[in-house]
Amino acid sequence: MSVFWKKGAAVAASVGTLALVLAGCGASSSGNSSQGSNGSGQGQGGASQQKPVEGGSVTLDMIQNIRDLDPAFAYDTQSNEVVTQLYDQLVTWKGDTTKLVPMAAEKYDISKDGLTYTFHLRKNMKFWNGDPVTAQSFIDEFYRVLSPKMGSNGQGFYEIIQGADQYAAGKTDKISGLSAPNPYTLVIKLSKPEAFFLQTLAMPFASAVDKKFIESVGNHQVYKKNPTFDSTQAMGSGPFELQTINSNQIVLKKNPNYWRTDSYGQKLPYLSKITFNINNNDQVDALHFQQGQTAWIGWNFGGDGIPSSAYPQFMSNPNLKKLTVSAVQNSVQYVGLNTKLGPTKNKLVRQAIEYAIDKQAIIKLNNGRGKVANQPLPPGVVGYDNNLSPKAQYTYDPNKAKQLLKQAGYPHGLTIDMYSENSPDQVKFDQAVQGQLAKVGIKVKLHTSSWGTFLNVAEAGKAPMFWLAWIQDFPDASDFLNTLFNSNQAPVNNSTNYSNPQVDKWLNQAQYSNDQNERNQLYAKVTDQVMEDAAWVPIYYDVFTAAVQPWVHGFYIPKATTDPLEWIWIDKSHQKG
Amino acid sequence: MAAMQFETPPAPAAAAPPAKPFTKKFWKSVRDFPMLYLGALIIVLLILAAVLAPVISPHNPTTQFSDGLTESGIPVGPSAKFPLGADNLGRDILSRVLYGAQVSLLVGVISTVINLVLGVLVGTVAGYFGGWVDNVLMRVTDIILAFPLLLFAMALVAVLGPSLWNVLFAIGVLGWGTMARVVRGQVLAVKEFEYVQAERALGASNTRIMFRVILPNIIGPVIVLSTLNVGQNILVEAGLSFLGIGIQPPTPSWGNMIEAGMQTYQVAPWTLWFPGLALVIAVLGFNLLGDGLRDILDPRNTQH
Amino acid sequence: MYAYILRRLFSAVIVLFGISVVTFLLIYAIPADPARMIAGPKAPESVVLTIRHQLGLDQPLPLQYIHYVWRLLHGDLGTSYTYNLPVATMIVQRLWPTAELALGCWLAELIIGIPLGIYTARHARRLGDYIVSALALIGISLPLFWLGLLLLYWLAYQVPIFPLGGFGGLRYLILPSLTYGITGAAYYTRLLKSSMLEVMQQDYVRTARAKGAGESRVTFRHVVRNALIPVVTFAGIDFSYLLTGVVLVEATFNWNGFGSLAYTAIQNLDVPVIMGTVLLVAVAVVLFNLIVDILYSVIDPRIRYS
């Protein structure tokens, strides 16, 4: 079989986290390219034995269109995955591990006090239009992400850079912690050490952007100083270029001048073209794969695994079954309950909902794929709370829910608006929740729309109740707890508008602590409090499944939504056109 | 479509045939107008299904049965418990189909009543007064008719927010163009008749002439068109619900059931078959009745 | 005749004006603030105010309407909120797929409908007529999208002859066209039948027959040719049905056309695209009917419209 997938990846992830946390603080550490790009050729694809073949194109189905191609806004899985194909970051993940390797930076040094990060950039990198990628290209993007007017999802991750909080608050127009002593050296100074800062640099927010391009196409009407640009344009330096995008299709074509090479010295990427057809029909997507028209299914750009309506067929048909890969992901599906809007302002109502939702029944609708979730952190992330306080635990108990509703002053029931995207499986889960809540007297009005439209509502904090999932950007509890529950992340990432000063204090303390034990304890306290306050109904932790054609090689499921499409290659016999 | 078939005013009703025993008469008329009676039968059954849904449904249409799904989460097929199988959430399809009749009838009939009121009003006034009144009203009708009903209703429902009443309202308010045109044509012809002229000579008011004298004389085509209209409006509602802009879950509508079936027909084809079949039969019922009524009320159309 | 054409043109202009008013008002009825949609949910209120001012959304309605029409006349249908592309460009991109589909659907209607119409007229009140008429009635009663799904189930899934939807060459066109053809053909069948039966009573047909012309010759040389006139007129009315049907056909077959553009725009409340598509469809219907009417009055001067 030509599909490689490392089992037990979830365990590897947690070990990796520890190592990184230790490396990131205290002792000075550095990375360089010898272990990075050169060594990654074979390693990336999960140790493929064959020599990769260049050429050919693949077609894939996508349930929903992507939301945004601007790296400053690409924080949903779909946009994130596309943006990482189009843009280069300073560092990236090695294959399906959680080990960071240099990328645009040839090597980097971290000072002993953990405050100064020095990146030595590659000299031969160019944007598609020929403009050179320099240290300034990264600094430009930090200015955009941190701009007070932009409202980028990434703002919170980089306010730790010296002077960034002042800039983000609109008090200064300079970030003192960012400098470029020469065009190929980038120095980032932090205001205090942060265990996982380097990991945040693998996110799309820290991409190299071409300021000239953005200024020529950007939306100057809205953002005079830091223009945004829309989802029809991109100018990166990544392995793939954006050829076309419209409401039904996205086409990426190979960047022939990409700097990266594999261990054989072949240039990346291998594929010359990738076509994504947007097709919000599970059946058809599954059939396209079965008929051999698509290269894989259930993975990429927000794919939630093989659609539930087709999954049993994949399992019962031996020919299909052997093409499937599956893994526990560090991700959680949840129903968010807005703490500032609608009837869910009332904690008792939120707790009633916790008791009213039958998570097992929802997992069954997903063909049993998934593990019941009891807290925001997935078990694979260090900091997972094995000893939840009794107050933070809920079991399925409709009677208890009714009782709480009565207590909350709703003896005759109430109506709540719930928002979600409109993929077929999502709509099915929504209706399951709707049916379960109806049993306790809560009438749920569903508002389903395309992914982007839905996120616009949720991320404005305007959805009283919504269904979302969270997949780790980097393997640290802070990516879940701080990003999703710190009041300074509301409403963009913390879309339930959860705000508890005590929790904020714990989160901030954990954010900058170097003692992993202390952090774990703090995160356990946060978890208990958040669950007691019932801002979320964690539904399940994903067990992820995809299926890959036998003629596709180099496939692996990344840990942090940075899909390595540049490593994918296909058999010569399947290359047409 | 039906607009073209009423270019001529109806002939006076045929004289009553000589009295015969009732049953014999009944069967003869069934033989003469099989479509009419088949359509009426279907509609009666449809009404019964809608009215009696709470009584005859084996289950609550929104209950999600865990044994309605197999272990791997796929709908179970027809069985004793679920005579027409279960849907993607383990709900009983038979019960949902029966309750779906309520939505279809409600939307079909009420939206047609709105079409009828608006269409007759506009058509009668335009045809009767003629001149600039006619001109203005007919241009408004042209505007309404220029927007394809489904597309316009989609936009309007999106504006108002999808719900049963908004769907009903949108179809009702946008779908009266054909009725107005037909009625106007009929009025134009009838108003020249002697008895209308006589009423006018006697000094009857315009309102009286329009609604007491002319209207009863054009009621035939209006009934026929309305009957056909109910079927068409049921289809529009189903189309809207199929596109997700109509009746919202958990309320069962044949359209949103077909939409759900679209995602599961490969593993559970019954999720697609039965709601669609119900829809076809219902629409067929109104089309049969409409055509049958035309045979009786508008015999010139079926002279051949 | 020229007077008629002039009158017809004038009323078309009035109707077009009405259509522009209706579509213009749609934007105000839609409960989404355009300025907010453009700025994005995260932009501060001051930015939204700026945009509102720049777009003139703070001006009185009649003034805004004048600006709107002015832009329309310059081919500017606005910019999509979702894709930030000119609506006109987006529509133009989708015109060809939809034109292809509409043509396919229409041809399917004619190919199925006209032979059956001739057949039923020639076999009126015989068994074949009853069977075809019953089938026609069922065809009219079939929901497009359901029939489409059944055809997909049978002919693309169970027996994979055709692709599972999508836009491409002729292979992709057959199932959607067939779906529409089956549901729409009945109108042509019925119309042609009644029109032929009427023509058959005409003197010149009787004469032809009396002169000893063969039945087929009479049917095709005299009857069908004359009976087709109302059928051609119906194509004008059918055009509007076709544009509605195309929305459903495109949704069922994942056809990358105008209908799915309108449909996704409605789902996303992408107001300029909704306005643009609705407006364009309405204008197309008006112009198409205008052309048909004018041609008809040229061909057949007896036409008198009151």
Q: What is the model's pLDDT at position C305? A: 47
Q: Which of A158-172, A222-236, B9-23, C242-256 has the highest mean pLDDT?
A: A158-172
Q: Are B302 and B50 in contact (CB under 8 A)?
A: no
Q: Which residues of A touch B64 (CB under 8 A)?
A: 361, 432, 435-436
Burial of residue B238 (CB within 10 Å: 0-12, 13-18, 19+) is: buried
Over residues A508-543, the pLDDT tens digits come to 999 888 889 999 999 999 999 999 999 999 999 988
Query: Quick check: B83 pLDDT over 90?
Result: yes
Number of domains in chain A: 2
Q: Is position A447 within any domain?
A: yes
Is residue A289 in some structural domain? no
Interface of B with C in 32-91 (CB under 8 A): 35
pTM above 0.90? no
pLDDT score of C75: 86
Using a CB-CB cut-off of 8 Å, the residues of chain A touching B70 are 312
Whether the bond into B17 is cis, omega within 30 of 0: no
Statement to judge: residues A508 and A565 lie in one domain: no
Mean pLDDT of B140-148: 90
Residue B151's SS3 state is helix
CB-CB neighbours of C170 under 10 Å: 9
Question: By C-alpha distance, which of B68, B7, B38 is closest to B284?
Answer: B38
Which residues face A469 on adjacent strands?
A333
Per-residue model confidence (pLDDT) at position A19 = 32
Task: Choose the closest CB to C51 out of A221, A248, A460.
Answer: A221
- The CATH number for A40's domain is 3.40.190.10
User: Is residue A211 domain-shared with residue A332, that is, in the same domain?
Assistant: no
Q: Does the distance separating the beta carbons of B231 and C244 come in below 8 Å? A: no
- Identify the structural domains of chain C with CATH numbers, from first to last: 32-76 (no CATH), 92-299 (1.10.3720.10)
Q: Chain C residue with minimal CA distance to A64?
A: C264
**C137 Cβ partners below 8 Å, 6+ apart?**
B35, B284, B287, B288, B291, C186
User: Which of C129, C124, C245 shows the shortest CA–CA distance to C181?
Assistant: C245
**Counting Cβ atoms within 10 Å, is residue A35 exposed (0-12), middle (13-18) or buried (19+)?**
middle
Sheet-wide strand order for A57-62: A57-62, A273-278, A249-254, A240-246
Contact C83 A149 (CB under 8 A): no
Same domain, A390 and A520: yes
A153 and A211 in a single domain? The answer is yes
Let me know whether A521 and A554 are in one domain: no
Which residue of C14, C30, C140 is in closest CB contact with B159?
Answer: C30
Residue A227, pLDDT > 70, answer: no
The CATH number of the domain holding residue B273 is: 1.10.3720.10
Indicate whether B39 belongs to any domain: no
Q: In the predicted model, is pLDDT for residue B284 greater than 90?
A: yes
Q: DSSP states of A192-210 as a string?
A: S--TTHHHHTTSGGGB---
When computed from its CA atoms, the radius of gyration of chain C, rounded to whole angstroms, is: 24
pLDDT of B210 above 80: yes
Same domain as A146, residue A62: yes
CB of A337 within 8 A of CB of A353? Answer: yes
Averaged confidence pLDDT in chain A: 85
**For residue B1, what pLDDT is reported?**
39
Residue percentage of chain A with pLDDT more than 90:
53
Residue C223 DSSP code: I
Mean pLDDT of A443-451: 90
End-to-end CA distance of chain A: 26
Residue A257 and residue A356 in one domain = no
Q: Count the neighbouring beta carbons within 10 Å of the beta carbon of residue C209.
A: 15
Identify which of B177, B152, B158 has the alpha carbon closest to the alpha carbon of residue C282.
B152
Classify residue A115: in a domain, yes or no: yes
A150 vs A111 pLDDT, higher one: A111
Most C CBs within 10 A among A222, A250, A294, A451, hence the mutation to make, goes to A222
Q: For position A35, what pLDDT does the model report?
A: 33
- pLDDT reported for residue A42: 37
Residue C301 has pLDDT above 70, yes or no: no
Given a contact cutoff of 8 angstroms between Cβ atoms, the answer to whether C184 and C105 are in contact is yes
Pair of tokens at residue A563? 């899909």
Asked if residue A431 is part of any domain, the answer here is yes
CB half-sphere exposure, C40, CA atoms < 13 A: 26
Residue B4 within any structural domain of the chain = no
Chain A residues lying within 8 Å of B73, measured CB to CB: 308, 311-312, 364-368
Residue A218's pLDDT is 66
Residue A477 is assigned to a structural domain of this protein: yes
* Residue C18 to chain A, least CA–CA distance (Å): 30
pLDDT of A6 reads: 23
Question: How many domains is chain B built from?
Answer: 1
Do A418 and A525 fall within a single domain?
A: yes
Whether B71 is in a domain gets the answer no
Rounded to a whole number of angstroms, the distance from the CA of B265 to the nearest CA of chain A is: 8
Q: Confirm whether B192 is domain-assigned.
A: yes
Both tokens of C202, joined, read: 């005409």
Residue B177 is inside which H or E element, if any?
helix B177-190
B39, two tokens: 């359509």
- Is ipTM over 0.90? no
Quote the CA–CA distance of A367 and A434 in Å, as a whole number: 19
User: Greater confidence, B19 or A53?
Assistant: A53
pLDDT confidence tier of residue C43, bands split at 50, 70 and 90? low
Quick one: pLDDT at residue C32? 64
DSSP H helix total and E strand total for chain C: 13, 0
Q: Is the pLDDT score of A41 beyond 50?
A: no
Task: Kindly list the residues from chain A whose CB atom is less than 8 angstroms away from the CB atom of residue C157.
Answer: 287
pLDDT (0 to 100) of residue B87: 94
pLDDT the model gives residue C297: 76
User: What is the CATH number for A396?
Assistant: 3.10.105.10
Q: Is B174 touching C (CB cutoff 8 A)?
A: no
Asked if residue B174 belongs to a domain, the reply is yes
pLDDT surpassing 70 at residue B205: yes
Q: What local confidence, expressed as pLDDT, does residue A228 receive?
A: 59
Both A555 and A533 in one domain: the answer is no
Highest mean pLDDT among A76-80, A183-187, A330-334, B293-297: A183-187
- Least confident range from A54-68, A405-419, C43-57: namely C43-57
Interface check for C160 against chain A (CB to CB < 8 A): the answer is yes
Strand partners for A252: A242, A274
Contact A364 B69 (CB under 8 A): yes
- Residue A428 sits at the chain B interface (C-beta within 8 Å): yes
Using CB atoms, list chains with 3+ pairs below 8 Å to chain A.
B, C
Confidence label for A39 from pLDDT (cuts 50, 70 and 90): very low
Residue B232 included in any domain: yes
How far off is chain B from C211, nearest CA to CA, in Å?
24
Chain B residues 235-274 within an 8 A CB cutoff of chain C: 235, 238-239, 242-245, 255, 258, 261-262, 265-266, 269, 272
Minimal Cα–Cα distance from B56 to chain A, Å? Answer: 22
Structure confidence at residue C29 as a pLDDT band (50, 70, 90): low
Whether B148 is covered by a domain: the verdict is yes
- Give the pLDDT of residue A142: 95
CA distance C267 to A485: 30
Alpha-carbon span A194 to A464, nearest angstrom:
34
Predicted confidence (pLDDT) per residue in B223-275, tens digit? 999 999 999 999 999 999 999 889 998 999 999 999 999 888 888 999 999 99
Whether residues A235 and A378 fall in one domain: no
Instruction: Indicate if the pLDDT at residue A459 is higher than 60.
Output: yes
Question: Does A333 lie in the same domain as A251?
Answer: no
Cβ atoms C94, C256 nearer than 8 A: yes
Q: Are residues A187 and A248 part of one domain?
A: yes
The pLDDT tens digits for A254-302 are 999 999 888 888 888 999 999 988 887 888 888 889 888 899 998 765 5
A272 vs C: CB within 8 A = no
Q: Which of A488-497, A549-558, B73-82, C232-241 has the lowest mean pLDDT?
A: C232-241
Q: Which of A133-137, B101-105, C79-83, C195-199 has the lowest mean pLDDT?
A: C79-83
Which residues in B lie closer than 8 A to residue A361 (C-beta atoms)? 64, 66
Task: Give the Cα separation of B132 and C61 in Å (integer).
Answer: 27
Check pLDDT > 80 for residue A48: no
Q: Which of A571, A574, A577, A573 is nearest to A53 (CA)?
A: A571
Interface residue A438 vs chain B (CB under 8 A):
yes
Most confident of A320-329, A567-576, B107-116: B107-116
Residue A571, phi then psi, degrees to nearest 5: -55, 145
In a domain, B44, yes or no: no
Please report the sign of the dihedral spanned by the C-alpha atoms of residue A220, residue A221, residue A225, residue A230. Answer: negative
The pLDDT value given to residue B263 = 85
Contact C183, C145 (CB under 8 A): no
The arithmetic mean of pLDDT across residues A444-457, rounded, is 87
* Residue-wise burial string across A312-327, b where 16 or more C-beta atoms lie within 10 A, e elsewhere: bbbeeeeebeebbbbb
pLDDT of res. A83: 86
Residue C90 has pLDDT above 90, yes or no: no
Taking the C-alpha atoms of residue A260 and residue C17, their distance in angstroms, rounded to an integer, is: 59
Domain, as residue range, for A55? 17-284+549-574
Enclosing domain of residue B132: 101-297
